Every structure is written in C-alpha cells, then in structure tokens.
Structure 1
Amino acid sequence: MTKDNNKKLSVKLVKSLIGKKNEHRRIIAGLGLKRINSIAILQDSPSIRGMINKVSYMVKVEQ
C-alpha cells in the first residue's frame, strides 16, 4: 500500500471557542486555528483526521 504524502486538508474554524471544553480548545490550537474564520492547511494523516473528528461540530474541512 502506497501513501500519497501530498494530500492536504484545508480546515476552517466556523464556531467560537467560548463555552467549549478545554480539551476541544486544545485540539483547535493543535490544528493551528486561533479565531473564527481562520484557516489551516494540514497534511492528511490519521492523527489529524482524529483531531478533526473530535471537533467536527466547530470546523469545516475541504480537501
């Protein structure tokens, strides 16, 4: 099985962090997002997908 390391994900924060769990705040910071409408371009990997899955209600993902 070969992996394509050039796959990128564009992740955009669409909801505020106010009133959210501390763990979710840390995940958002780990993704490189700071404020609403900020966008991070990240490598597509299982660990990044897991982080996105936990905060999927706050982010929008494009491939």
Structure 2
Amino acid sequence: MAKLKITQTGSPIRRAPIQKQNLIGLGLNKMHRVRELEDTPSVRGMIRVVNHLVKVEEIA
C-alpha cells in the first residue's frame, strides 16, 4: 500500500477546533513534525480539512 509523508507547516493557533483535532489525529500538533501514514480514504479526508497547514508527499 502507498504511503504519505505529511509535514506540518502551519500553526494550529487560532484555528477551528476541528482542524486542531485533525492535526492531532494525524499525529501532528507541533510545527515541523513529520509522519508517514498509509494512503487511505480516512487519512485523505483528514488531510483535506487541514491542507493549508500541511505539506504532503507520496512515498513509493
């Protein structure tokens, strides 16, 4: 299964609670943290909510 490398680039300060919760769900809650997660529809949905706060790269 494909993997995604997700890096947090934006701060969760002054963001909607749902955006903060999605960052925590992705394993990101501080700037410049990086996580590798499997590419699933649920992860893609969480990324879509916080796409302005993260950078996503596909890993082969």
TM-score of the superposed pair, with normalisation by structure 1: 0.88
Match of 1:17 in 2: 12
TM-score of the superposed pair, with normalisation by structure 2: 0.93
List, as ranges, runs of 4+ consecutive aligned residues in structure 1 with deviation greater than 2 Å: none
Corresponding residue to 1:42 among 37, 40, 44: 37
Quote the sequence identity (%): 36
Unpaired stretches in structure 1, ≥5 consecutive residues = 1-5
SS at match of 2:43: helix
Deviation at 1:34, TM superposition (A): 2.2
Deviation at 1:44, TM superposition (A): 0.2
